[in-house]
């Protein structure tokens, strides 16, 4: 048994928590099954717990595994999500949240921004997720960043990997002052600098489907895994929380995308420990 599984040795620095929830996915279910798959890939003997930059995520006291949260009849899932993240933060644990569809980011950010007023968000995605509503759902997985910006929960929102922006979402981005770095303008030497604490939200469909086919909305022309990792490693910021969302195991027949998620977990976790 490695230290990752040893829950008897606090204090920990990071908390891993899964949200098995995909009710707000507009086209396809399946993301609710992602957290156990990401955990299995992360713990797989096929790799180790070291990040590329030399951080050992298997070291004692690094990770507290808070387990998975599932919907409970009679309880609002968003309240469960917000409350569980708030509990981890109050224990001085920096949360890494495994989705689930992207709608979970809104209640997570409600908790994180309360602890870190002036929070910034770095959002990897093919989609801006700024719809006022989609198919009548204001909490659609295509809308969380509209809710976040309306409520003033983020001082700065920077989006990378974007390649599906339409007229409505371009208006929303302007209205909220979102810094959209569209995929067509990507540069491999892009470096982002944040003065305030940063939350990283990583929708796996930011990556090209060639690298991460296990998503509900495959959008060609995306980031390579290498480009995404490079941006995270070059990031100049204090990272206080993160999510990895929209991985759909039903679209991932040979577990390629599960391995990608585990790799992102290591690189993001290492950044949070810096």
Within 13 Å and on the Cβ side, how many CA atoms surround 89? Answer: 20
Pick the stretch among 75-83, 118-126, 177-185, 252-260 that binds Mn ion (CB under 5 A).
Answer: 118-126
Work out which of 110, 127, 266, 271 binds Mn ion, going by CB under 5 A.
Answer: 127
Look up tokens 């690298």; give the residue: 211
Distance of CA 95 to the CA centre of its chain: 10
Q: How far is the CB of 123 from Mn ion (least distance, A)?
A: 9
163 binds Mn ion (CB under 5 A): no
Q: What is the DSSP letter of 178?
A: -
DSSP, res 137: B
Smallest distance, Å, CB 181 to Mn ion?
15
Using the rule CB under 5 A, give the single segment among 14-22, 42-50, 60-68, 198-206 that binds Mn ion: 198-206
Q: Which of 101, 203, 208, 267 binds Mn ion (CB under 5 A)?
A: 203
Please identify, among the stretches 25-33, 49-57, 90-98, 196-204, the one whose residues bind Mn ion according to the rule CB under 5 A.
Answer: 196-204
In the complex with Mn ion, the residue whose CB is nearer, 126 or 264, is 126
Cβ atoms 61, 13 nearer than 8 A = yes
Instruction: Write down the least CB distance from residue 28 to Mn ion, Å.
Output: 12
Closest C-alpha to 106, from 166, 47, 146:
146
CA–CA dist 234, 152 (Å, integer): 27
Tokens 């585990």 locate to 262
**Binding stretches for Mn ion (CB under 5 A):** 125-127, 203, 205
């Amino acid at each position: 048994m490695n230290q990752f599984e040893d829950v008897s040795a606090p204090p920990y620095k990071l908390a891993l928590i899964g949200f098995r929830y995909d009710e707000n996915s507009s086209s396809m279910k399946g993301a609710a099954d992602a957290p156990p798959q990401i955990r299995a890939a992360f713990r797989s003997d096929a790799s180790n717990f070291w990040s590329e930059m030399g951080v050992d995520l298997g070291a004692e006291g690094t990770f507290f595994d808070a387990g998975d949260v599932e919907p409970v009849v009679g309880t609002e899932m968003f309240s469960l999500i917000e409350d569980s993240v708030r509990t981890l933060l109050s224990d001085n644990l920096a949360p890494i949240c495994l989705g689930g569809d992207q709608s979970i980011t809104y209640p997570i950010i409600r908790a994180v921004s309360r602890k870190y007023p002036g929070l910034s968000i770095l959002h990897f995605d093919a989609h801006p997720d700024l719809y006022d509503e989609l198919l009548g759902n204001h909490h659609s997985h295509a809308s969380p960043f509209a809710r976040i910006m309306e409520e003033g929960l983020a001082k700065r929102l920077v989006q990378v990997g974007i390649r599906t922006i339409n007229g409505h979402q371009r208006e929303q981005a302007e209205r909220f002052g979102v810094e959209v770095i569209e995929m067509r303008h990507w540069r491999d030497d892009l470096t982002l600098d944040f003065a305030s604490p940063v939350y990283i939200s990583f929708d796996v469909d930011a990556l090209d489907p060639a690298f991460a086919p296990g998503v509900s909305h495959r959008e060609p022309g995306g980031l390579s895994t290498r480009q995404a990792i490079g941006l995270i490693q070059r990031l100049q910021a204090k990272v206080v929380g993160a999510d990895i969302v929209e991985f759909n195991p039903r679209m991932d027949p040979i577990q390629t995308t599960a391995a990608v998620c585990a790799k992102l977990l290591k690189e993001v976790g290492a950044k949070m420990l810096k």
